[in-house]
Amino acid sequence: MNGDSVDIDLARAWVQAIAAAVDQHKDHLTQLDSAIGDADHGVNMHRGFSAVTTALDGLEPDTVGALLVKAGTTLISSVGGASGPLYGGAFRAIGRTLDTSKATPQEFAHALAAGLDSIQRLGAAAPGDKTMIDAYTPALAAFQQQADAGADLATAALAAADSAEDGLRATAPLQARKGRASYLGARSIGHQDPGAASTALVFRALAETAAAAETAATR
Ligand code: ADP
Ligand code: MG
């Protein structure tokens, strides 16, 4: 794990950092979902990533992809809400493109794009529908732009995390057109989307993991 690339250790540390962030922000995610949903997003994410942590414990995969596919499969089988299959499918799609022990930022950008594609194929949401897509799309664009410009992983992931949080904030004035929140119609306006909030955590966890790996490598 040196911060230049996504290797198996970094992928594992990323997933663990997501689990820790979900644990820390569980109540906040549920609060957001109580405003425009059914108040279970924090619980769903927590159940899912706790199961992922357990599933990865002692697992020694040969590739980054195998680890992330395992994470995705575990999310699908452990989370009941809409977010389980959406995130689970995304992690599986990300993993399926990473049949390697070490992915460059460019390769990882390609993998993240496959993840977004999976969410859109399953959930049929477009940008602006007030879903996790509204955090993921700008995060991916920022990551891709940095990777194309030759940035290292930590720099690309930091740009992605900042853009995901911008995307999250921008969901507040939107009216939900997909998922449970869409049942509220105009009453969904004025609240941040819970799934966009958890997606922001996913990208912030990546940025922090990559930064920590880089610092460790230069010490
Ligand atoms: P549920 O809506 O089944 O209770 P969660 O509360 O765990 O599931 O997740 C809700 C989040 O899932 C929403 O905030 C939204 O971001 C995301 N979501 C719901 N439906 C879709 C969809 N069709 N496409 C993309 N994301 C969706
Ligand atoms: Mg919910």
Domain containing 94 equals 6-217
DSSP string across 8-32 = HHHHHHHHHHHHHHHHHHHHHHHHH
In a domain, 116, yes or no: yes
By the CB criterion, residues less than 5 angstroms from ion ligand 2 are 33, 37-38, 40-41, 81
Instruction: Report whether residue 98 contacts ligand 1, using a CB cutoff of 6 Å.
Output: no
Is residue 114 within 8 Å of residue 143, measured between CB atoms? no
Percent of the chain with pLDDT over 70: 99
In a domain, 81, yes or no: yes
Instruction: Report whether residue 134 contacts ligand 1, using a CB cutoff of 6 Å.
Output: no
Residue in 75, 180, 184 to alter for ligand 1 test, most ligand atoms within 8 A of Cβ: 180
In a domain, 101, yes or no: yes
Query: What does the CA dihedral 175, 178, 183, 185 come to, rounded to 10 degrees?
Result: 20
Cα(156) to centroid(ligand 1), Å: 26
In a domain, 31, yes or no: yes
Structure token pair of residue 137: 């799309």
In a domain, 87, yes or no: yes
Structure token pair of residue 135: 């955090």
Q: How many domains does the chain have?
A: 1
In a domain, 112, yes or no: yes
Instruction: Report whether residue 32 contacts ligand 1, using a CB cutoff of 6 Å.
Output: no
What CATH number corresponds to the domain at position 16?
1.25.40.340
- Whether 2 has a pLDDT exceeding 80, the answer reads no
Structure token pair of residue 57: 């414990």
In angstroms, the CA 11 to CA 103 distance is 10
Percent of the chain with pLDDT over 90: 94
Instruction: Report whether residue 132 contacts ligand 1, using a CB cutoff of 6 Å.
Output: yes
Whether the pTM exceeds 0.85: the reply is: yes
Q: pLDDT: is 107 or 215 the higher one? A: 107
In a domain, 1, yes or no: no
Can you give the pLDDT at residue 215? 87
In a domain, 198, yes or no: yes
Instruction: Report whether residue 180 contacts ligand 1, using a CB cutoff of 6 Å.
Output: yes
pLDDT in tens, 53-76: 999 999 999 999 999 999 999 999
Mean pLDDT of 2-12: 89
Environment class of 27 (CB within 10 Å of its CB; exposed 0-12, middle 13-18, buried 19+): exposed
Is residue 45 within 8 Å of residue 198, measured between CB atoms? yes
Nearest CA among 11, 103, 3, 112 for reference residue 56: 11
Nearest CA among 174, 164, 186, 197 for reference residue 44: 197
In angstroms, the CA 209 to CA 118 distance is 24
Mean pLDDT of 163-182: 97
| DSSP three-state, residue 103 | strand
Nearest CA among 159, 162, 143 for reference residue 103: 143
Cα(10) to centroid(ligand 1), Å: 27
Nearest residue (by CA) to ligand 1, atom 6, is 41
Q: What does pLDDT average to over the chain?
A: 96
Nearest residue (by CA) to ligand 1, atom 24, is 123
